[in-house]
Chains A and B, each alone.
Chain A
Amino acid sequence: DAKTTQPPSMDCAEGRAANLPCNHSTISGNEYVYWYRQIHSQGPQYIIHGLKNNETNEMASLIITEDRKSSTLILPHATLRDTAVYYCISYNNDMRFGAGTRLTVKP
């Protein structure tokens, strides 16, 4: 089973930052934290990943706590097209997805 915990749903106003939390308290030292999202029934889309340090790319920022037991995905300026299910995963071998967080961006 997935080793991460995410809130089932969140809302965000368009143009505001969306902060999606994830708990991974049993993460091992060499396990990366990955974030993906799935828009409707499309194939999941890779967003970002990290090990210890905070990461940023053109899509999002990833903040990992110093103890690595939790992380936050930040979408700096959410748009309606960011409405999706967001999955946080920590894994070392097979990639098992949990239920994710359904983010709804509202006008």
Chain B
Amino acid sequence: DSGVTQTPKHLITATGQRVTLRCSPRSGDLSVYWYQQSLDQGLQFLIQYYNGEERAKGNILERFSAQQFPDLHSELNLSSLELGDSALYFCASSVGGGGGNSPLHFGNGTRLTVT
């Protein structure tokens, strides 16, 4: 158990809809990272937050947004969903703000299916 909690585990929704994925980091971790993994694809970095502030942005679509709250949990909002958004979405957390001597610890992911 990595200590990172993601909810829900599975989500099925229709095209055009909006969903929110939630991540609770490990106790003491200040950074949260979001990744997308489509079927048989690699992990695509979306965005990182550190102590409530956006720290780094990757290949995140404009239809997607994220935030980190004062209690350090994070939410990833996906809107105007398309079939191609079907994927596993992973959250990871780390103590530091990125880089250095601070491993990432991943949750078990949310499997999103858009029909």
Also in contact, A36 and B99, with CB within 8 A (given A96-B58, A97-B45):
no
Can you list the 5 inter-chain pairs with the closest CB atoms, starting with the nearest? A43-B106, A94-B56, A92-B99, A97-B43, A46-B103
Decide: A95 and B33 in contact? CB cutoff 8 A: yes
- Contact residues on B (Cβ < 8 Å of other chain), bracket: 20 to 34
Interface of A is mostly: loop
- Nearest chain B residue, comparing its CB with the CB of A34: B103
Taking the complex as formed, is A44 at the interface, i.e. its CB lies under 8 A from any CB of chain B? yes
User: Min CB distance, A32 to chain B, in Å?
Assistant: 6
Complex Cα spacing A98 to B43, Å: 8
Interface residues of A (CB under 8 A from B): 30-32, 34, 36, 38, 41-46, 49, 51, 87, 91-100
Apart from A31-B99, A94-B58, 6 more pairs, CB < 8 Å: A41-B37, A46-B104, A95-B45, A97-B43, A97-B45, A100-B42
Also in contact, A49 and B103, with CB within 8 A (given A92-B98, A94-B98):
yes
Also in contact, A32 and B106, with CB within 8 A (given A94-B45, A94-B56, A97-B45):
no
Decide: A42 and B108 in contact? CB cutoff 8 A: yes
A41 interface neighbour in B42, B55, B88, B98, Cβ under 8 Å: B88
Interface residues of B (CB under 8 A from A): 2, 4, 33, 35, 37, 42-43, 45, 48, 55-58, 88, 90, 92, 98-101, 103-109, 111
Decide: B45 and A44 in contact? CB cutoff 8 A: no
